[in-house]
Amino acid sequence: MAERSKPPAEARAAKPASIADVARAAGVSIATVSRIVNGATGKASAATVARVQATIAEVGYRPTGAGQALRKGQSRLVAVLAANLANPTMAAIAASIETALRDVGLAMVLCDTHDNPDLQDEYLSEMRAQAVRATVLLGAVRSAQLPNAMAGAAPLLFVNRRCPIDKAAAFVGIDNQAAGAAVAKALHGRVPKGALAVIHGSLESSATAGRIAGFRRELQALGRSLLDVDLPAVLGSDHLALGHAAAALLLAKAKRPAAIFCASDLIAYGTHRGLREAGLRVPQDILLIGFDDNPLNDWIAPWLASVRVPYAAFGPAIVAMLGEMWRGEKPAARLLDFALVDRP
């Protein structure tokens, strides 16, 4: 019988080291290696622990995440469910979270719920089945399975928007009401006379609702009024289309606004296009102030003043709060700083 050919040395070297490889090289049982890998070092001598750990490093053994999750009741995975990854703001915050999780040895699973309650529920159920260590809801919506997920063992952390069913739930974001008030003061200073207007998405979002409430309250205190626009006719999840349609509604009014507050930068982009199509210039004819100051603005929107959200600060703040939740603490909301970027 012909001798079976051996695989090339490169192929043998490429095969991941197993726990049996570690046990054989260290001269101990597989059970001993398993206990040490999972932190249960009390049954082995210090010398044995050191030898096994050195062998693990030498052969390049990496524990299987799924196996560790089953043994420890947790995994290295943290799920991030984002409401709309087409929005550069959501993508920038998700990138910050991924970096911060990786810095502490955790991995991120990223899903886009498209602001759809059914899809959010589907992902919540799937993440529970995968035994993720925590779920970060980056823009949560009210959904049927949200109460069950909040009662589960793995923490739920709400980011950017507060929990739609429990305002006291763990939250990381900015003070949207204060930011809205800051926009009102800025508009009043830059446009002391003339009509003002606001364009926003659904007020079901706590972030949007807070911005608009703070903006309106501050304008009232300043003695300024707003032009009304029939927003229900144009409301939708596509902020670009919303801004474009709302601009046409505003320009159809007898009195043209001197400035418009757009509750997101994407709304501002759509509004800007609508104004340009009508032959108007921004900011010379109408001033726009957006919200988020996403990283693209310096490149594509030098005409847009905007409230800057501290993207890089989200990841570390979220990881710190998750640490508190894993320790069984009930952390207070973490409010991050914001700044008004005054362009042009």
pTM of the model: 0.78
pLDDT in tens, 148-198: 999 998 999 999 999 999 999 999 999 999 999 999 999 999 999 999 999
Strands (E), 93-177: 107-112, 134-138, 156-159, 171-174
- What mean pLDDT is predicted for residues 278-295? 96
Cβ 86 vs Cβ 144: under 8 Å? no
Band of the pLDDT at 230, cuts 50, 70, 90? confident
Band of the pLDDT at 82, cuts 50, 70, 90? very high
Band of the pLDDT at 14, cuts 50, 70, 90? low
> Quick check: 257 pLDDT over 80?
yes
Strands (E), the chain: 77-82, 107-112, 134-138, 156-159, 171-174, 196-199, 259-262, 287-292, 305-308, 334-336, 339-341
Cβ 118 vs Cβ 148: under 8 Å? no
CATH number of 176-308: 3.40.50.2300
**How much is the pLDDT for 44?**
82
Strands 339-341 and 305-308, sheet pairing: antiparallel
What is the CA 100 to chain-centroid distance, rounded? Answer: 12
Residue scoring higher pLDDT (71 or 268): 268
> Quick check: 34 pLDDT over 70?
yes
Fold of 76-174+311-337: Rossmann fold (3.40.50)
Give φ, ψ of 108 to 5 degrees.
-105, 135
**How much is the pLDDT for 3?**
43
> Quick check: 41 pLDDT over 80?
no
- What mean pLDDT is predicted for residues 118-145? 95
Fold of 9-63: 434 Repressor (Amino-terminal Domain) (1.10.260)
Domains 76-174+311-337 and 176-308 share a fold: yes
Band of the pLDDT at 63, cuts 50, 70, 90? low
> Quick check: 28 pLDDT over 70?
yes
The DSSP bridge partners found for residue 215 are none
3-state secondary structure (DSSP) of residue 334: strand
**How much is the pLDDT for 138?**
98
Q: Any idea which of 20-29, 70-79, 171-180, 201-210 has the lowest mean pLDDT?
A: 70-79
Q: Provide the mean pLDDT of the chain.
A: 89
Percent of the chain topping pLDDT 70? 90
**How much is the pLDDT for 11?**
41
**How much is the pLDDT for 39?**
63
Q: Any idea which of 53-62, 83-92, 131-140, 298-307 has the lowest mean pLDDT?
A: 53-62
pLDDT in tens, 101-125: 999 989 999 999 999 999 999 999 9
**How much is the pLDDT for 90?**
94
**How much is the pLDDT for 47?**
87
**How much is the pLDDT for 71?**
47
**How much is the pLDDT for 69?**
46
**How much is the pLDDT for 284?**
95
> Quick check: 276 pLDDT over 80?
yes
Q: In the chain, what are the domain boundaries?
A: 9-63, 76-174+311-337, 176-308
**How much is the pLDDT for 66?**
43
**How much is the pLDDT for 38?**
64
Residue scoring higher pLDDT (73 or 211): 211
> Quick check: 128 pLDDT over 80?
yes
**How much is the pLDDT for 249?**
92
293: left (phi over 0), alpha (psi -120 to 50) or beta: left
**How much is the pLDDT for 40?**
62
> Quick check: 65 pLDDT over 70?
no
